[in-house]
Amino acid sequence: MQYSIALLPMCLVSMKNFLDTTYIKNADLKNFCTFKIGGKAKHLFIVQSNDALLNVCYYCNSHNIRYKIIGIGANLLFDDKGYNGAIIINQSKNFMFKKNYLYCDAGVNISTLISESIKRNLSGLEYFSLIPSTIGGAVVNSLGAFDHRFFDLIERVICYKKSDPKKRVILSKNDCKFGYRTSIFKADEFIITRVKLKLKFDDKSEILKRMKHCLNKKSSTQPIKDFSAGSVFKRSTLIPAKVIDELGLKGKQIGGAEISKKHSGFIINRENASAMDVLNLIKYINDIVYKKFNQKFELEIEFVPFN
């Protein structure tokens, strides 16, 4: 059941003055992630502004409620048992351009900013077309595509300590410790609210040409119409899709989870897959890879446990 803040259950009545916030009790997490998998979250908050985000985080801290902040849930596998705490969905949508600089809230969908940037003849974001992500998710996961790294565009990140949502912190690109699909934010110690990006002016037709190339490449090689969490494994000395293909595992299915026939680096939710189906398929892949190469793939997706 969904509640406005004025109609919150008694355990949350102290939040009645919160604005820009929607509360859902026992929310089905499969409705809030691209994998369409997961049990129920004890609490779920949808926030529409940075103030609302920080207020909910402060509330959770004050009431000893464990919480996790997400965007569109594109890189997550939720536990079948659900989440014993609060999931906070950041949908803050403010952004502003100043010449070739872009100031945007962490909750803004990257697809929105790609369109707005192209209108202004600004290049840099078009390489990330068709990648489901908010700006916050792109920062946390150090998004990359076609040899382009999202963090190369970052000038600074404004965030707050999870332990003290009133403490504002401004981090430079170097402070963020970006690497291949990793950053300082992976430790889940910060609440990202706003990001400053530096883009480049370019001819609009050239930007559109690059974007079209990215769109065609992704749509022709990746299972974008299937439910998934994106690439399951990180690259190392082994290239996951290449290795999985060579081992003859493409199309392997456990329960409702399947190694995509279109791109072996993806596991898709073929038939009402459970999180356990996905985890068992990951284990199956890694067991075979280990026997062959004496090493295992590292996960790129994040499993979010119940506790």
Q: Is 194 a catalytic residue?
A: no
Q: Of the residues 206, 237, 257, which one is the last residue of a structural domain?
A: 206
Same domain, 267 and 244: yes
Residue in this structure with the two tokens 């994106």, named with its chain if needed: 230
d(CA 178, CA 271): 36
What is the structure's pLDDT at 18? Answer: 73
Given 92, 181, 194, 228, the catalytic residue: 181
Same domain, 202 and 282: no
Same domain, 256 and 195: no
Given 49, 126, 270, 300, the catalytic residue: 300
Same domain, 246 and 296: yes
Given 133, 228, 231, 264, the catalytic residue: 231
Biggest CA pair distance of the chain: 59
Does residue 18 belong to any structural domain of this protein?
yes
pLDDT tens for the chain, 307 residues: list them. Answer: 444 443 444 444 445 557 899 999 999 999 999 999 999 999 999 999 999 999 999 999 999 999 999 999 999 999 999 999 999 999 999 999 999 999 999 999 999 999 999 999 999 999 999 999 999 999 999 999 999 999 999 999 999 999 999 999 999 999 999 999 999 999 999 999 999 999 999 999 999 999 999 999 999 999 999 999 999 999 999 999 999 999 999 999 999 999 999 999 999 999 999 999 999 999 999 999 999 999 999 999 999 999 9
Count of domains forming the chain: 3
Cβ atoms within 10 Å of 1's Cβ, excluding its own: 9
Q: Is 228 a catalytic residue?
A: no
What is the structure's pLDDT at 19? Answer: 87
d(CA 72, CA 303): 15
CB 295 within 8 A of CB 243: no
Same domain, 188 and 168: yes
Same domain, 161 and 82: no
d(CA 161, CA 163): 5
Q: Is 300 a catalytic residue?
A: yes
- Supply the CATH number for residue 112's domain: 3.30.465.10
Same domain, 106 and 176: yes
Same domain, 150 and 186: yes
Answer yes or no: pTM beyond 0.85.
yes
Same domain, 119 and 182: yes
What is the structure's pLDDT at 14? Answer: 47
Residue 9 vs residues 14, 145, 247: alpha-carbon distances, Å: 10, 44, 53
What is the structure's pLDDT at 4? Answer: 43
Does residue 218 belong to any structural domain of this protein?
no
Same domain, 102 and 73: no
Parent domain of 161? 95-206
Q: Of the residues 68, 90, 112, which one is the last residue of a structural domain?
A: 90
Q: Of the residues 43, 66, 90, which one is the last residue of a structural domain?
A: 90
